[in-house]
Amino acid sequence: MDMLSTKLDFIVQLLWEAGISNWVISPGSRNAPLVASFIKHGKFQLISSPDERSGAFMALGMSQINQYPAGFICTSGSALVNTFPAVVEAYYQRIPLLILSADRPEELIDQWDGQTLRQPGIFGNYVRSNLHCSPRNESTEQIAKGIYDCLKEAFVNIPSATHLNIALSEPIYEGIDAPFAFSDAIPPFVFKPSQPNKVDLIAVKQFIESSFTKDEFVPDSTLPIDQKLTVEESSESIKYPRIAVLIGQNPPSPLLKSVLIELQHYVPIFADVCSSQTQVGLISWDWGMLKREIPNYLEPELLISVGTATISKPLKQFLKKSKPKHIHIGLYDEVGDPFETQPQHWKVNESDFLQAVLEIISTFDTSADETENSNWVEDSLIPTFQKSNNSNSIKKYLTDWEVYIQSQSLVSHDLPHPFASELQFMQKLFQSVQENCIIHLGNSMSVRYGSWSGQTKAQVYSNRGVSGIDGCLSTAVGAAIASPEKHHVVVLGDVSTIYDSNALWTDLPSNLTIVVFNNGGGRIFDWIEGPNKLQELRTFIHTPRHFEMEYLCKLYSVKHFKYSINQLDEILNGILENSDKLQEKSDHSHPNLDEQSSPKTVRFFELISE
């Protein structure tokens, strides 16, 4: 019979074959044999995090950046329970994440033995696949099939966390010091993702036209997918509805961005701050809607949405009131209804669908030569179109929105303390950073400031799946480790920082800059009107405290800077200095992880609201 270490080496090889090479590890005795196999393999990137909650969020940040699973390893018992916040965030953010837990043998569960609980299936339906494995009792063939089948579920279906629970029976340290047992019997990891449906241009055109009635539209399945529109079908008598496009939280997509860059000239595009498309669409639209009545003439007749959640409360209220016909585009079956509009789901590629909308709308405003150059599908679905007066009405809706947003009389200075100065900082940061920067926003006020700050060249992330403050800093740490060539700036409040301060309990990457609004508690509850109606609530809801962040930085050997938030130029020069250094380094050579990992080079900016 194979030693336990040989079976664990086999499991580790399977995970390497599946391409899961980045791991965060929390300490423990039961998981030590597993960790030993990862170390002896010699090719994994391994990060230590003594706090399981923080470590799981670090792995989430790595997965978020790479859009590919990173792994987290923990011991048995309550250690696994501490990963639950990261698991549910991965579920609602649709991020692939692998949780690998060590367990005690089945016969010890519920027998009053230490550090045991019912680990198999502990995450319920917040993971889309899970596997309980007892290596001593299973053949390598059974292990390989079980792990690969479990991982394929995570790759083929909606991305989320996957849980592998490995039960280890005594002697667990058997063979731990033996050389890694590389196996020649490792099967290849192969999965076949489903192919998206091809977009039927005629069906899209019919749907747009049907938006005047708000009746449910069922595409005519008898139409051949590659059927061309005729000149008669694009006649000048066609009137198009007021169309709005909403991009919710979404991973980066260069193809989608290229389509939106063109589409933004025809229809209003509301790109959420976490949409990965903050360089396109209406500028400062969320700020433009803040604390204002939105006139009826801006109500869309057709809403096309992509991605998941959006943070803007004014937009949510507006769409709930206007109740447009709503179509949601995406490849995943689960579709939310945040605006109570009962969206129809078209299971097609989002870029292809919006390109079809662009092709249809732009035919009323482009020349035949421009139209014939379209090559988004083979042979181009659209022949030569005649120009029409309808382009004026299409663009008028866009112009109306632009004029409305620009007429916002509210300025950041009008906000009460400390919101005015903190928003001014965020606006300046968004304007100053370049494409080599990634901004991570904490929840509560930080992400709202980002939503009000308009467009930026940086990629922006925030944990808006469940929107909790737990793990905001840890996620940014993991993301910075995973992409050392980028400058990562995380902006969050004092409560979020203290709550997740164990994120600093690791070898921190020097490409990370931490910015903290030290404003004396959870100030979002001063923004929300309700909690202030009873003064006695402040102690329990606002949790007002005065934190000296300098001592936190000393504890973790982090370089500390303290500024009044009104010293905008000095603050931004200090933050962007790291970005400039990384740019200079990338111009000469690609930075490696060893150069980036140093606990004494992370920069921590404490901003005091006065």
pLDDT tens by residue, 324-372 = 999 999 999 999 999 999 999 999 999 999 999 999 888 765 433 443 4
Predicted confidence at residue 391, as pLDDT, reads 52
Residue 214 has pLDDT above 80, yes or no: no
- The structure tokens 């001592």 sit at 551
Distance CA 567, CA 67 (A): 37
Task: Label residue 587 by pLDDT band (50, 70, 90).
Answer: low
- Cross-sheet strand order for the sheet of 437-441: 459-461, 437-441, 487-493, 512-518, 603-608, 559-564
Predicted confidence at residue 115, as pLDDT, reads 82
Hey, where are the domains in the chain? 4-167, 201-406, 412-608
Distance CA 224, CA 221 (A): 8
Give pLDDT tens digits for 135-178.
999 999 999 999 999 998 877 889 999 999 999 998 999 889 99
In CATH, the number for domain 4-167 is: 3.40.50.970
Predicted confidence at residue 218, as pLDDT, reads 47
CA angle 160, 165, 170 (to 5 degrees): 165
Residue 381 has pLDDT above 60, yes or no: no
Mean pLDDT in the chain? Answer: 87
In CATH, the number for domain 201-406 is: 3.40.50.1220
Half-sphere exposure of 14 (CA within 13 A, CB side): 22
Distances (CA, A) of 146 to 89, 142, 153: 25, 6, 11
Task: Label residue 586 by pLDDT band (50, 70, 90).
Answer: low
Distance CA 227, CA 487 (A): 48
Torsion of CA 132, 137, 138, 139, to 10 degrees: 160
Residue 417 has pLDDT above 60, yes or no: yes
Predicted confidence at residue 235, as pLDDT, reads 34
CA angle 331, 333, 335 (to 5 degrees): 100
Task: Label residue 209 by pLDDT band (50, 70, 90).
Answer: confident
Written in H, E and C, the secondary structure of 542-575 is CCCCCCCHHHHHHHCCCEEEEEECCCHHHHHHHH
Q: Decide: pTM greater than 0.75.
A: yes
List the beta strands (DSSP E) in 134-202: 161-167
| Residue among 411, 418, 416 at smallest CA distance from 452 | 411
| Residue 174 Cα to chain centre, angstroms | 41
Least confident of 131-140, 540-549, 584-593: 584-593
Give pLDDT tens digits for 443-492.
999 999 999 999 999 999 999 999 999 999 999 999 999 999 999 999 99
Domain 4-167 and domain 412-608 have a common topology = yes
Between 275 and 236, residue with greater pLDDT: 275
Predicted confidence at residue 585, as pLDDT, reads 60
User: Which residues have C-beta within 8 Å of that of residue 247, sequence separation ≥ 6?
Assistant: 256, 260, 269, 270, 271, 272, 275, 277, 281, 305, 306, 307
The superfamily in CATH containing domain 412-608 is Thiamin diphosphate (ThDP)-binding fold, Pyr/PP domains (3.40.50.970)
Alpha helices for 308-465 (secondary structure H):
313-322, 350-362, 368-372, 390-406, 419-432, 445-451
Distance CA 187, CA 169 (A): 26
